[in-house]
Amino acid sequence: MIDQEKGYVVFTEEMKKTHTILVPNMLPMHFKIIGKVLERSGYKVELLETSGPQIAETGLKYVHNDTCYPAILVIGQFLDALQSGKYDPDKVALILFQTGGGCRASNYIHLLRKALTKAGMGHVPVISLSLAGLEHHPGFRLTVPLLKRMMYGVLYGDLLMTLVNQCKPYEITRGSAQALADRWTERLAQEMTVGGKANYRQVKANYRRMLDDFAKLPVARRDKVMVGIVGEIFVKYSPLGNNNLEQFLVDEGAEVVVPGLLDFCLYCVYNNLLDHKFYGMQKHVQALYQVAYRFLLGKEKDMIDTMEAHGRFTPPTLFTHTISLVQGTISMGVKMGEGWLLTAEMLELADKGVENIVCTQPFGCLPNHICGKGMMKPIKAKNPGINIVAIDYDAGATKVNQENRLKLMLANAKQAAKKPEAVPVPVQEVVFEEKIPQSIQKTARGAAL
């Protein structure tokens, strides 16, 4: 029941044994692995993989309709699950990530609790997963080894996402890239469970194996227009939030480039360093954040190095380079929501030669007025060839309107690609003759795409 002093239902140590923790789905591959990491630490975890219009409908029913779309979806997904009868409401807990930043996203957890109360399930505990330590739940402790393994999950997820994005538009067998990624997700998740190996040497070895596996995937020549996706974190990644944007772009003949989740983690940590630089705040914890920042940076560099050494795929951009690109466009003091990182990612994409960008945001997203739509003019001034389209996502927004705008962006992208100076250097057609391994074929059939 509600802890009077704290004002919320606490997730107790008892509950760790009895309750299943439901996890919302933002990035299917990342979260699957991270879910298994939690299981290894003794939690019962279930990743919600539901979709469909009833999720937004449920959300609209229990959340203020002017709240951002991600809140409506995440809370809608939770309540839809709880009301489905699949779970014992006395044996279930929910978890949400909370940054504690100045964006209203930090309030999602409170809105979820209000919604639960409204739905008559106010007793269901909601765990705040927060590095800022906004709440305290005795049954859920973020230990260093746990955090470390969760970070491996992020790294794996980022690599898999990058590889899928680079293979999917060119795959010979439809669905084969995702099927391979699913197989890897399964395998990595397995490794994360009790008894599995999850040391960093193993992680790096896995990188190489993944790269090798994906390199073997039969693909056609890489010659499609590249389209980057940036934006508010949920609608940027979640197919539920963005009407399956990635798939739409791939079907329209584009190769999608999506900056990874690690960038966002680095951004969160780095902002604490900036708070000190800008305002002289957080003095006593600077050393700790420095260590964390260096550590994450090192991990990112290892992944990039491994990819470069392998040579076949384009690695993500190093965070330090991303930072250097943003100077002079937006101040790094802008730290609410995706803040300066959003601007930086658009610049990073342009820097890589990905000049077509979809900037996604929930309708009425406050930080994106500034760092998304507000920065397009200066970004265009710096990169005259850039082709950005801002798409709003909302329960009431129509798909036709969104797709029509995306089509405009794609038409301009394809036009630009035709211009002589933009013609890519002819690449020799690489079609791998090898047979697809049996195991992948199996999953390929099972994958519904």
Partner 1 sequence: MTKQSKLALGIDIGSTTAKIVVVEDGTIRFEKYQRHFSQVRQKTLELLAEAVGVVGERPFTAAISGSAGLGLAESAGVPFVQEVFATGEVVRRMEPDASAVIELGGEDAKIIFFDGGIDERMNGTCAGGTGAFIDQMAMLLNVTADELDELSLKSTRLYPIASRCGVFAKTDIQPLLNQGANHADVAASIYQAVVNQTIAGLAQGRRIRGKVLFLGGPLYYCKGLRIRFQETLKLTDEEAVFPEYGRFAVAMGAALYGENAGGTYTMDALRRKIETSPAVRSGENLLPPLFASEEDYAAFRARHAGSDVPRRDIADYSGGAWLGIDCGSTTTKVALLGEGRELLYTYYSSNRGNPVEIVREQLEHIYGLCAGRITIRGSAVTGYGEELIRAAFGVDKGVVETIAHYTAAKHFCPEVDFILDIGGQDIKCFKILNGAIDSIMLNEACSSGCGSFIETFAKSMGCDVAEFARKGLHAAAPVNLGSRCTVFMNSSVKQSQKDGATVEDISAGLSVSVVKNAIYKVIRAGSAGELGEHVVVQGGTFYNDAVLRAFEMELGREVIRPAIAGLMGAYGAALYAMDLEKSALVSPEALRGFTHTAKAAVCQGCTNHCRLTVNSFGGGKKYISGNQCQKGLGLANAQELPSLYAWKREALMGLRPGPDIRGTIGLPLALGMYELLPLWHALFTSLGFKAEVSGLSTRRIYEKGQFSIPSDTACYPAKIMHGHMEVLLERGVDAIFYPSLTYNVDERGGDNHYNCPVVAYYAELLRGNMDDLEQTRFLSPFLNINEPRELSRELYACLSPVFPDITKKEVKKAVEAAFVAYEAHMLAVRKQGEEAVAWAREHGKRIMILAGRPYHIDPEIGHGIDKLAASLGFVVVSEDSICHLADPAPVHVLNQWTYHARLYRAARFACENPDVQLVQLVSFGCGVDAITTDEVRRILEEAGKLYTQIKIDEITNLGAVKIRLRSLIGALEEKGV
Number of residues in contact with partner 1, rule: CB under 8 A? 77
Smallest separation (angstroms) from partner 1 to the CB of 362: 9
- C-alpha dist (Å) from residue 411 to 161, 222, 228, 270: 26, 19, 15, 38
Q: Yes or no: say if 338 and 356 are a contact pair by the CB < 8 Å rule.
A: no
Q: Which stretch binds partner 1 (CB under 8 A): 29-37, 286-294, 367-375, 420-428?
A: 367-375
**Contact call for residue 403 and partner 1 (CB under 8 A):** yes
Nearest distance from C-beta of residue 201 to partner 1, angstroms: 41
Tell me the angle at which helices 108-118 and 53-62 cross, rounded to the nearest 10 degrees: 80
Beta carbons of 24 and 240 less than 8 angstroms apart: no
Does 216 interact with partner 1 (rule: CB under 8 A)? no
Q: How far is CA 14 from the centre of its chain?
A: 31
Cα atoms in the 13 Å half-sphere on the side-chain side of 29:
26
Report how far apart, in Å, the C-alpha atoms of 385 and of each of 123, 191, 197, 348 are: 54, 45, 47, 14
Q: Which CB, 147 or 281, lies closer to partner 1?
A: 281
Measured from the CB of residue 265, what is the shortest distance to partner 1 in angstroms? 20
Q: What is the residue type of 353?
A: G
User: Based on CB atoms, which residue is closest to partner 1, 109 or 357?
Assistant: 109
Helix axes 144-167, 28-40, angle to 10 degrees: 150
Nearer to partner 1, 191 or 392 (CB): 392
Q: Which of 83, 107, 247, 314 binds partner 1 (CB under 8 A)?
A: 107
Site for partner 1 in 36-55 (CB under 8 A): 52-53
Kindly tell me which of 84 and 398 has the beta carbon lying closer to partner 1.
398
> Which residue among 245, 269, 370, 444 contacts partner 1 (CB under 8 A)?
370
222 contributes a contact to partner 1 by CB under 8 A: no
Please pick, from the candidates 34, 249, 357, 371, the single residue that binds partner 1 as defined by CB under 8 A.
371
Is 328 a residue that touches partner 1 (CB under 8 A)?
no
CA distance 338 to 370: 10
Q: Give the residue with the Cβ less far from partner 1, 153 or 339.
A: 339
Question: Is residue 327 a contact point for partner 1 (CB under 8 A)?
Answer: no
For residues 330-349, which are near partner 1 according to CB under 8 A? Answer: 330-331, 333-337
Shortest spacing between CB 70 and partner 1, in angstroms = 12
CA distance 198 to 218: 30
Tell me if 304 contacts partner 1 by CB under 8 A: no
Q: Classify burial at 441, counting beta carbons within 10 Å of its beta carbon; exposed 0-12, middle 13-18, buried 19 or more.
A: middle
Q: Please list every residue from 118 through 177 that binds partner 1, using CB under 8 A.
A: 118-120, 134
Under rule CB under 8 A, residue 110 binds partner 1:
yes
Residue 180 or residue 357: which is nearer to partner 1 going by CB?
357
What minimum distance in Å lies between the beta carbon of 195 and partner 1? 39
Distance CA 408, CA 67 (A): 29
CA–CA gap between residue 56 and residue 72 (Å, rounded): 6
CB of 419 to partner 1, least distance (A): 12
Amino acid letter for position 398: T
Lookup: tokens for 71: 């809140």
At its nearest, how many Å lie between partner 1 and the CB of residue 55? Answer: 12
- Residues 86-105 interacting with partner 1 (rule: CB under 8 A): 100, 102-104
Residue 222: burial class (beta carbons within 10 Å; 0-12, 13-18, 19+) = middle
Q: Which stretch binds partner 1 (CB under 8 A): 114-122, 198-206, 292-300, 439-447?
A: 114-122
Confirm or reject binding of residue 276 to partner 1 (CB under 8 A): no
- Closer of 7 and 42 to partner 1 (Cβ): 7
Select the span of 39-47, 108-116, 229-237, 421-429 touching partner 1 (CB under 8 A).
Answer: 108-116
Phi, psi of 74, rounded to the nearest 5 degrees? -65, -45
Which H or E element spans position 13?
helix 13-18
**In the beta sheet, which residues pair with residue 45?**
21
Helix (H) or strand (E) holding 8: strand 8-9
Q: Could you say whether residue 273 binds partner 1 (CB under 8 A)?
A: no
Considering the rule CB under 8 A, would residue 195 count as an interface residue with partner 1?
A: no
The residue written with tokens 């309540």 in the block is 79
**Is 288 a binder of partner 1 (CB under 8 A)?**
no
